[in-house]
Structure 1
């Protein structure tokens, strides 16, 4: 109970802080920031100003978090970096390929549009923080948490030992919720306002990202016994791989629900009653996605000019869809690869170098 009160009190304190950060400044910038300075406690204070106040992208509440939990910041940065990387992997064959820009917004003006893409960036980033902080707890990198204290699963074999050092997903979830969501809660928005709708959308998608990690924790076990007989097992709680998280959120992106205000202007409801209500694991969005076929600095679209495509595919990576009907150019590319590899006892592998010519197609 004391822990819950502490987190609740901290949340109230941070909600009262008003943000001074522009709409395009985002904490995702930590994903491309170098964190060596946090490794050295002597560098935490620069003169009389904490390092946290000099970081671009943090809101006022997040800066306060940084000051209270500065040892968590490298983990948050790794989580943001993992989210950016996974976003680019999941959308590598789409017109919008989750490209980044060289400023504190990371994803550019696209985040200002309340579309599916903005929803995905919020979800995957929040999931990245859960994942990274949970793992850092297990590895003993953080002062305020350690190994998981999750209860023994009821269906675990009675002869197996529950007590290995598991990923502390419970702490990672709580910290991600407090750090990521405080940015959205720092301002009061009137009913029916665009700001309130966007805040509610972001909070919902942040939670969907966290649950894509929290609700899918696994049980990992290690065998013990003479000559690997596995007469005894030790088990612990383990995070799902971040690729699994990304795959799950990509499915949620494809099935995202378009929402609008209810009559009172206090709640978001599905726009089309024919579709199911969005659960807390589902993504929601307010606006239709912009046209990603052409470059448009205002929307953040970089277009598909010069993007590689698959001439033989009928999917989104195919030249017809990727190039938006503009056609494509074909050229030859020489690939140099290792081939004819042989294993020699003991113990090395020797390969030859082979060259081959492939056709490459790029959008006009």
Structure 2
């Protein structure tokens, strides 16, 4: 087994570290015997995390399988920005040195990863993939909403169970450290968890004569993770820069005229780099070689993306479907056409 060097989990969500502890691109086998060996050999875990890891190998496996989803969501949210939630191959962690800086990007990564753990475990519970949980057992009997009375039925997603495990496991290291950065991580972890719960919705099925809704059966359902990503992206845009209070127990805003951050806000300490050039110290990989939009005025424009360095244009041919026609019944036939397009990429730093 190729293990990470000792200490590489420092200031990292253990979930991220666990992803980088894979062998040959696949998850370690997490059988009853193998789980203790694996959990004992992941560097950076505190005792509480090792204990939970050994006790719940199937939960750890579910988390590992879901990590690609929240990394993909992070990359979707920032695909047109200088920082695009890029991952780094063959580094000690998938985000390089980015997470060593207490920036708003680090705040987003912690929030989306914490949310991803909750979402993944909640879904696994409802789908019967875990022995320790299933549907929410508290959603039974009758209740009311703005539309009137309804009966609980179906399978309500058991988000509370997932939130409890996520808090116990992901937060354990930060709770042991209790320094300024640990408090920041704890705050953003919680904001991510709360986002998943906040976006749950009541779904109902109507029963009654001629499809009337005289009787409703309802259940609580998770929102698609894209909505969580959109929500946390808005929180990223409005993230609050903070400093520690005089007692070292919490935050106050860096700019006194701004309101204190709520539990739903993302918080950060340090200004972000501009991500224009490669800088190993800050974790920036630069924008050299990134595709930009010459006609845009937004963040994906060549002027903004390339940081004024200019861009190169290449002419390429792409295969595309064209002249599509509908044939009764029921098929669509298209021709394969070649489309010549210009692709603009940012010049590298000189």
Band the TM-score falls in, shorter-chain normalisation: 0.7 to 0.9
| Equivalent in the alignment of 1:142 | 130
Q: What pairs up with 1:274-353 in 2 under 5 angstroms?
A: 274-353=257-336
Please, which moves more after superposition, 147-156 or 254-263? 147-156
TM norm structure 1: 0.84
Please, which moves more after superposition, 67-76 or 221-230? 221-230
Structure 2 vs 1, CA of residues 351 and 60 (structure 1 numbering), >3 Å: closer, same or farther?
Answer: farther
| Equivalent in the alignment of 1:68 | 55
Aligned equivalent of 2:165, options 175, 196, 218 = 175
Gaps of 5+ in 2: 1-5
CA offset at residue 205 of structure 1?
0.4
TM norm structure 2: 0.87
Structure 2 vs 1, CA of residues 344 and 161 (structure 1 numbering), >3 Å: closer, same or farther?
Answer: farther
Structure 2 vs 1, CA of residues 307 and 328 (structure 1 numbering), >3 Å: closer, same or farther?
Answer: same
| Equivalent in the alignment of 2:29 | 37
| Equivalent in the alignment of 2:3 | none
SS in 1 for 2:194: helix
Aligned equivalent of 1:92, options 67, 74, 79 = 79
CA offset at residue 89 of structure 1?
0.7
CA offset at residue 168 of structure 1?
0.9
Q: How many residues align?
A: 334
- Tell me, in whole angstroms, the C-alpha distance in 2 between the residues paired with 1:213 and 1:49: 31
Q: What pairs up with 1:1-364 in 2 under 5 angstroms?
A: 22-23=9-10, 26-31=14-19, 33=22, 34-35=26-27, 37-38=29-30, 43-46=31-34, 49-55=36-42, 58-102=45-89, 103-151=91-139, 154-155=144-145, 157-158=147-148, 160-187=150-177, 189=178, 196-223=179-206, 233-364=216-347
- Tell me, in whole angstroms, the C-alpha distance in 1 between the residues paired with 2:95 and 2:143: 40
Structure 2 vs 1, CA of residues 347 and 226 (structure 1 numbering), >3 Å: closer, same or farther?
Answer: farther
CA offset at residue 246 of structure 1?
0.5
Please, which moves more after superposition, 137-146 or 157-166? 157-166
SS in 1 for 2:145: coil
CA offset at residue 162 of structure 1?
1.7
